[in-house]
Structure 1
Amino acid sequence: MNATPEESTIPRWKQRLLALLVSFVLMVLGGEIFCRWQVHQANAHNLEAVLAGRTRPVEGTLQELTPASFGDVIRMGTDPKIVYELHPNMLGVNFKGHEVRTNHLGFRSAPQVPKEANTITIIGLGDSIQFGHGVGQDDCYLEQLRLLLQAAYPRHDWRVINTAVPGYNTVMEVATLEAKGLPLEPDLILLGVCGNDEGLPVYVNLAQDPYDLGHSFLWRKLRGHQPESEPGLVHKNTRRDEEVGSTFDLPGRYDQLQGWKPLVGALERLKEISAENQIPVFAMASITYSDHGHEANHSSQILAACEDLGFSVLDMQPYLDLALLAETGKPFREGVYKHSSLVVSRFNLHPSVSQHRLIAQKCFEHLEENGTLNRLMGP
C-alpha cells in the first residue's frame, strides 16, 4: 500500500511529538484556568470580605459574654498603611478573658477630652505587647505608667494613650500616629519595639485579580506561593516564600510594609515628626534575647537604629534577666521564661500583669533619670 501524502510529509514520530506538545499545552492551560478559578473563589475569604461579613462584638459584662475572637474586634483600616484597626467605642468586650474598651478613635484608652493647660500627653505606639494581650485594661504598662506619673507629679494631668493593636509593625504604628495620634497633641511618643516589627502585620488582605495576565498563577502555585488557608482571617504565614525564608510573596502594595528598609523609613519619618512638632521619642524594647530564631535579636538592631536617630532608648532585657533569676534561680532562657510569672501563661507568652508593672516602673525611672519628665513639666 502506498503512503498517504500526510504520512510521507510528516513522520509518525513528529506527529506523536506534536500531539504530546498539544496535550501539554492544553494541560497547562487547563491548570492555569483552574488556578485562576481557585483565586476567584479564595477572594470571597480575603480579609476585607471576611471583616465586612462580621458584626461588632456583643457588649456587656465578662460573665455574660462569649469570648470575642480577634476578627471580631477589628475592622479594615482607613489608611493604606493601616491594614486593620480596632473597632471604635467598644465597651465590655471579652477578648482573651479580659475586658477591652476603646474610645472613638479605636484606641484601648479612656475617652479623649480637650487638653488643658496642665495636661501632659504621652502617646504609645506598639503591638500586642503594649496593647496588653491577655491582661486587663488597667494592667497595661501604659496605664500603669500613667498611675505612677500621676502619683509622683499630681499637679499635672497625665494622659497616656494606648494606640497599640496586636500584630502591628513599625510602619503601621507610625502611620497610626500620623492619621489619628498627632491631633491629640502629644508631648512624648513612647515607641514599643518588638523583634517582628520589620515583618508584615499578623493579618493581611490577600484579594488577587484572577484576570491579571502579568504572571502565571499555575507557576506560582507550583513554586508554593499560593495561599493555603482556611476561610476566614488570612494569616501572613499562609504566603511564606520558602525560597527566601522570611520574605513573603504578596501583592506589591505590601512592599512598603515589610523589610528593614520600610522599617527604617518609618523611624526616619518618626524623627521628622519629632523635629517638626518638638515631640521627644522614647523607644523601649521588652525582650532582646532569644535562644532560637532571630526575632528577639532584631529588637536590639531596631533599638540601635532608634538610638542612632537620637531617640531615648530603654532595653528591658537586663531587668527581665534579674526578675527571672530572682524567681527561678536560673539565667534567662526561653524554656525558663515561658514557665515563669513574667508571662500570661506558657501558651500565651505575652507579658503578664507583673511584667507590665515592671516595664512601667523602669520606663518611669528612665524618663525621670534622663530629665525627660522635667523637660515635659517645665519650670
Structure 2
Amino acid sequence: MLARLRSYRPGGRVAVRLVVVVALVSIATGVVAILTDPVSEAAGALGDVQAAAEFSGTVVGFALLVAAWGMRRGYRIASVAAAALVCLAAVHGVVQFRLASIPLVVLSLGGLAVLVLTSDRFTRSSALGPTQLGALVAIVGVCCYGTAGAYTLRAQFDELHTVADAVYFTLVTASTVGYGDIHPTTATARLFAVSLVVLGPTTVGVAVGSLFGPAIETRLSRTGRRATAYRSRDRSRDGARVVVLGVDERTARFVDRLAERARVTVVTSDERGAKRLLEGVETVETVDGDPTETRVLERARLEACDAVLVTATGDIDPAAASSAARAVTDARLVLLGGPDAAADLGADAIVDPEAVVVDAIVRATRGEADQSSSAASHSG
C-alpha cells in the first residue's frame, strides 16, 4: 500500500504549477475581497485584521509567484517559503470570510500537501555571501530604527499613536513616498524624519545592488561564455562533447563506449574511484567536485557541451544534478536510470539500460532485430 502511494507521489513540476495556481487565485481573491463585502463583517481588532487581509492577500499571491520561480530553479528555500506562504494564503481565505475565498482555502490546503510530498525534489542550496547578508541586516536595521524612533517620539508627531502607525510612517518615509498624513511637529522629530529619509533610500539602493548584482553579473557572464562556446563549436566540429555527472561500475561501461565517439568529461566527487573505474580510457577527462554545485559544473565547462548525461544510480542526487545542469546549460539532458527514475527532472530523455537490453533480446529472439541490434548482440 505504501509503495503504491509512493508511486503516485506528485513531481516537482506539479508542485511548481500548483503554487502558481494558488498565487493567481490568491491575487484574484484579494481583488474580489476589496470590491465586495464579507458574509459576516467583524468588529474591533478582528475587523481590522479582516480589512488588512483584503489587501495583503494580493501581496501573498505575488510572493508565491516569486517562490514558484525559485522552485523552478530547484531552490530548497523557495519550497519552504512556498509552504509558509500557502499556509498564509489559506489563513487569508478564512479571515476574508467570503464565498469567493473557498477555492483559495481548498487549493492552499491541497498545495500544502503536495509541497510536503515533494519537499525532497528541491535540494539546491542558496547560500548568501557576507555582503548580501550585510545588505539584509541593513534593511532590517533601518526598519527597526525608524519604527522604534517614531514610536518613541510619537508625542512629537501628528496622527502617530501605535506601533502600526510607526511602521507605516517608516516605510512611507524611507521609500520617499511621503503621503503627509503623519508628520513631525517638533524640531527633534523633523531631524529624525530627515535621518530616515537619508538612510532609507540609500540602504535600499545599496542592498538591492548587493543582493541582485552578483546574480545579474553571473547570468551575463554565463551568457557570454555560451555564445563563445557556440561560436567555437560552429568553427570546429571535431566531435561532440558530453559531460557525465556521476559514475559507478555500471555507467563506466557506457562512458567507455561513449568516449569512442565523443569527447567525454566526467564530473564526480570521487575522482580516485572514477579513475579506477575508467582505467585504460585515456580520452576521458575527470573533474573532481560535487556534480550538484554550479561552480563545479562551470569548471567542467558545461555551458560548452553538446549533451549532459546524468546517472540516477551513481554518487549523486539526480534531481539536484539535473536542476544544477539546467541552470548552466541548454544542452540536451539525458537521465540514465532504472524504472523508478522520476520523469519530472527536466530531462530531455530517460534511458533505462536494463530495459534496452531486455528489449533488444526480445527483438532478437523474435527475429525483429535490425542490423545494428544484431551487430550489437553479436559483439557481446
Q: Is TM > 0.5 for Structure 1 vs Structure 2?
A: no
Report which of the two has the higher share of helix: 2
Q: Name the larger-Rg structure.
A: 2
Point out which structure has higher relative CO (alpha carbons under 8 A, 6+ apart): 1
Q: Per the shorter chain, which TM-score range?
A: under 0.3
